[in-house]
Amino acid sequence: MKLKPSSLLCLTLAVQTITQADTVLTTDGARLTGSITLIDAGVIHLQTSYAGTLKIQQDQVASFETDEPVFVRLASGTTMSGPVKSSGPGKLKIQSEDGILETDTTRVVASWSPTAEDPAIVALRKEEESMRRKWKFRGAFDLLGKDGNTEEFSLGIAFDAKLVSPNDELAFFGEYEQREKNGDQTEDRIRGGSSYESFYNEHYGWYVRTELEQDKIDEIDLRSTSGAGLSFRLINKENQKLVARTGLGYRNTSYSNDKENESSATLDFGIAHEYKFKQFFSMENDLTYVPSIDDFGNYRVVHDSGIVIPLGTGERWKIRMGVKNEYESQPAAAEKLDTTYYSKMIYSWD
């Protein structure tokens, strides 16, 4: 049977495509063909027309071959360029311009095509990018109005800015709250401050913080709270962080009523916890306990826990629902405990 010229051409191209394919032979005898685009971190990336990109663990590979020249780096640091051929079980032969080198499959730590970039340089760039400080901004607000049997108005505005790296964080924040119910003002407060925290290894670091507050309902004309001490990073994972803080501080409070102004050295304790559940939501918990050194019966506790849920597929708009408790053992007003249940819209940007 004679083949037509067009059929012969198609057959020639098909055979050429097969013979030019890179080959990976696994330890269980499987033979995979495609194009080896990258070997990095113990994984061979094989681009195929039948299953996309296959990622094969290098310890499961008996040998591999490439038809086109590639860059190959060995465990010794030697880098060569040329086609790679199998020369026996677990053995490779690299045919470079400077000669032929025979080595074990397990000694290949990286390989990449001439049109690609050295994976070591790519990894270094990513590491430098992750260590670089970045500004992150977040604004939040909540608004509630009600008219009828009950007249109610509520407004809350908050803003924070953070300069963040994996090992330190500089933060500034401010917030304002005003709430009325049936003509009576139930909240009128403004608060702001800054903090800096730095870790000198995986677990240990230090922090400083300062905060200013004015609360007309609690008859606080001005309260300043400062603290500094040691930080302990108990959990430091991508999806979960837990930090405990302990130190010394100073608190000064001036009141708008007849209560005597307070000024005392304090202890400063805090716990901050964050847990991210994939892309669905995250939980944030903060607790501070600041007792006076002169009188441990004079203390202030602030607890804030919330769930943050992204809105839509982006990361900019979110909603936070939570509860905040503020307990003051010797308040100027009648109530010692203030509990606030809230829902806030949050917008974040870099």
pLDDT digits (tens, 9 = 90+) for 150-175: 788 889 999 999 999 989 999 999 99
Query: Is this prediction's pTM over 0.85?
Result: no
Reference 287, options 274, 271, 298; nearest CA is 271
pLDDT at 20: 53
Chain centroid offset of residue 115 CA: 32
Over residues 220-234, the pLDDT tens digits come to: 899 999 999 999 999
* Per-residue pLDDT tens over the stretch 22-73: 899 888 888 999 988 888 888 899 989 888 899 999 888 888 888 889 998 9
Which residue matches tokens 């009141």?
A: 255
Q: What percent of the chain has pLDDT over 70?
A: 94
Q: What is the pLDDT of residues 106-143, one digit of tens each?
A: 888 898 888 888 888 888 888 787 778 899 999 999 88
* pLDDT tens figures, 251-298: 999 988 888 888 999 999 999 999 998 878 899 999 999 999 998 899
Domains and CATH numbers, the chain: 5-128 (no CATH), 133-349 (2.40.230.20)
